[in-house]
Structure 1
Amino acid sequence: MATFTPFTQDELLAYFDRINYSQRDPSPSGLPAPTIENLCQLIVNHQQAIPFENLTIHYSSNHTIDIEPQALYNKIVLNRRGGYCFENNGLFARVLRSLGYKLWTGAASVVLEAKVEVQDGQPTIKAPPMTHQITIVQLPTTAQDGGDSEDRQDALWLVDVGFGGQTLPAPKMLVEHEITPGVRPEQFRFTRVHLASNVRQENPPYWLLEYRYKPDSPWMSAVVFDLTERSHADYYVANQYMSTNPESKFVKNVMMARLRRDEDGVLTRVLLLNDILKLRRDGETKLIQQFEREHERVKAIEEWFGIKLSEEDIGGMKGRSVALME
């Protein structure tokens, strides 16, 4: 594995400023302690301040996404941009490590269109290559989590701040079938499955994250993963494919998402896909705007996602398949 270089205290403070995070219980170091409570707050603040977005693929001169650690810090923290999974999760994992959280990063397959089927008597899902970055955090259980105060064991939690409109707004403990809330009234759960290629193994080694928009909606697949630790080289290859291959959904589309807290305190999701801007609140999706011209989309990106594109950035969109009329 690559050598880990922690953020300096000044870099962490700049990140906290970027996500509007106020420390409630700083440790002796002056930084937030590595607790589940602080993790929850960091996640929701991150997703409100830092959008999921693939703008660099389209609105830039070189159309290249650099996932080197310092490049991520410069882009997201200093230049106040967002990013897609390798960027958001890459930066966030480094922040958590720097704060003392025990974790490793892994990889997942995105299975939004896949359904679980029974094959040879086993729950099975067909999954594409693992092109999504995730983080697994290890934390002691508490009484609230179901742990015995006298005999606590570490629990594993999925942390993912880079999955677009289905991103978990909180860490999710790896417990099968336990339903937890998302952005209300969303729900998430884990089930254990085999991949179609290894169904003959005795125990399902993979975790499938499922979600539904409302308690009476059908469950849908999100990502499937195992607990193997991955290296930066794994993400480098996947990033190259997802950001440059003409068949990649990120090359074919302009995609953005962020959490937004309304004036009444309700947490919502703001979603942009190509020429459509929507708001999802209380399980209902409302059309905000449909863009006809490029300047309309650029204006909405600044107003709803806090990203101001330069003239050079905007010029990079010319001639691309997802460009709108000038």
Structure 2
Amino acid sequence: MASASLATYTPDQLELYLQRIDYPRVSNRLDHVRATIQKSPLATLAELQRAHITSIPWGNSALHYSAHHTISIGPACVFEKLVSRRLDGYCMDNNVLLYHVLRSLGYTVYPTGGRVNTAASAAPTESRDWFYVGLGHMVLIVTVDGQKYAVDVGFGNNGPTSPLLLKHDSPSGCIDPSEMRLIYDTLPEFVDQTQKLWIYQVRYSRDSPWMPMYSFAEVEFLPQDFEVMNFATSQRRTSWFTQTLVCTRMMFNETETAIDAVCVLAGNTVKIRAHGRSDVVETLKNDDDRVKALAKWFGMHLQQHEIEGIRGLVSQIK
């Protein structure tokens, strides 16, 4: 029996995945994608990433709207949840799915673990009182034409929107006017300051400071590593994911040539961040409103037993 790290998806599953992300818009998607990979592997990788993050939401609804309040990141489980059921998933759901898709399409790819920085949350930009939490994120390292790229479809609001070449300080556009980059540097918490990692950073405009989102190394992680990380992230009582429900999805511009907005459901509001501003588009008065908002803004249709699973939890809107 193949291990989880060696598992691949069948051609039928790949076709269903491509339908899920609506890419490309031709009759036989899989044959088309395989042909474009042969011609332009990096461009196709970028298109797959953009289609994924604009179609499959980042979120943790399974920890709140379910009877089990758990998350399984096995390849079959994430396929069932994100593709068949068309629900959301957090970093390890989404990146496990893309990892096995890319392997099945012939890419050279492996996953590694990352540490999220508190600057990625609501930490004040002025104080810079930020720090890195324990390992809890997944990043994919994809090799194309002898060069390594970081690919991530599981970071949500401030996540990268295209593959990032592992190159120090080479800014590129994100959601306008935001920019993103990688730097190769040490962490303030390290005793040995000669040790360096890749650090993914974002700035909201060219006049604002660069803010660290997460760090990662180039060391390959195994499925059993992510099992431990996933258990802590989804089950530890102090984990933010167990206390708050959040869901985000990137949005294309009108011509679908670039990502220019992100829709965020958090707390009792739905906001759209675009062009340097964030606007509330819906206020949720109760949990019924949120269930409807998940369907309206994210295409997620929960079953009744899932809806009932949130009753009595701190995340319930009463």
**TM-score, length of structure 2 as denominator length:** 0.89
Change (3 A) 1:193 1:311: same
Change (3 A) 1:323 1:139: same
Alignment of 1:174-213 (within 5 A): 174-202=166-194, 204-213=195-204
For residue 248 of structure 2, the aligned residue among 251, 257, 265 is 257
Task: Name the residue aligned to 2:8.
Answer: 6
For residue 206 of structure 2, the aligned residue among 215, 236, 239 is 215
Rounded Cα–Cα distance in structure 1 between residues aligned with 2:186 and 2:135: 15
Residues 1:79 and 2:85 aligned together: yes
Conserved 8 A contact 2:18-2:30? no
Identify the range of structure 1 (106-115 vs 272-281) with the bigger mean alpha-carbon deviation.
106-115
For residue 279 of structure 2, the aligned residue among 286, 290, 298 is 286
Task: Name the residue aligned to 1:112.
Answer: 118
Task: Name the residue aligned to 2:127.
Answer: none
SS in 2 for 1:43: helix
**TM-score, length of structure 1 as denominator length:** 0.87
Conserved 8 A contact 1:209-1:223? yes
What letter is aligned with 2:169? H
Identify the range of structure 1 (215-224 vs 85-94) with the bigger mean alpha-carbon deviation.
215-224
Task: Name the residue aligned to 2:126.
Answer: none
Rounded Cα–Cα distance in structure 2 between residues aligned with 1:322 and 1:26: 40
- How far did 1:128 drift? 2.0
Rounded Cα–Cα distance in structure 2 between residues aligned with 1:308 and 1:286: 24
Rounded Cα–Cα distance in structure 2 between residues aligned with 1:225 and 1:16: 28
For residue 33 of structure 1, the aligned residue among 25, 34, 37 is 37
Rounded Cα–Cα distance in structure 1 between residues aligned with 2:287 and 2:300: 15
Rounded Cα–Cα distance in structure 2 between residues aligned with 1:72 and 1:14: 13
Percent of pairs identical after alignment? 29
Rounded Cα–Cα distance in structure 1 between residues aligned with 2:216 and 2:274: 29
Task: Name the residue aligned to 1:148.
Answer: none
Task: Name the residue aligned to 2:316.
Answer: 323
Change (3 A) 1:217 1:195: closer
Change (3 A) 1:186 1:61: same
- How far did 1:200 drift? 2.9
Instruction: Specify the structure having the higher radius of gyration (Cα).
Output: 1
What letter is aligned with 1:136? I
Rounded Cα–Cα distance in structure 1 between residues aligned with 2:273 and 2:218: 32
For each residue in 1:225-255, what CA deviation from the matched residue of structure 2 results, as whole angstroms up to 9, or x when unmatched? 1111001111111111111112111111111
Task: Name the residue aligned to 1:136.
Answer: 141
For each residue in 1:103-150, what CA deviation from the matched residue of structure 2 results, as whole angstroms up to 9, or x when unmatched? 1100000003389xxxxxxxxx8422111011011111xxxxxxxxxx
Structure 1: 5+ residue stretches without partners:
116-124, 141-153
For these two proteins, the number of residue pairs brought into alignment is 302
Identify the structure with the greater helix proportion.
2
Conserved 8 A contact 2:184-2:196? yes
**C-alpha RMSD of matched pairs (Å):** 2.2
Conserved 8 A contact 1:131-1:242? yes
Rounded Cα–Cα distance in structure 1 between residues aligned with 2:239 and 2:284: 23
- How far did 1:218 drift? 1.5
Rounded Cα–Cα distance in structure 2 between residues aligned with 1:290 and 1:27: 43
- How far did 1:182 drift? 0.6
Conserved 8 A contact 2:268-2:285? yes
Moved over 6 A (4+): 23-29
- How far did 1:192 drift? 2.0
Rounded Cα–Cα distance in structure 2 between residues aligned with 1:81 and 1:26: 22
Conserved 8 A contact 1:112-1:220? no
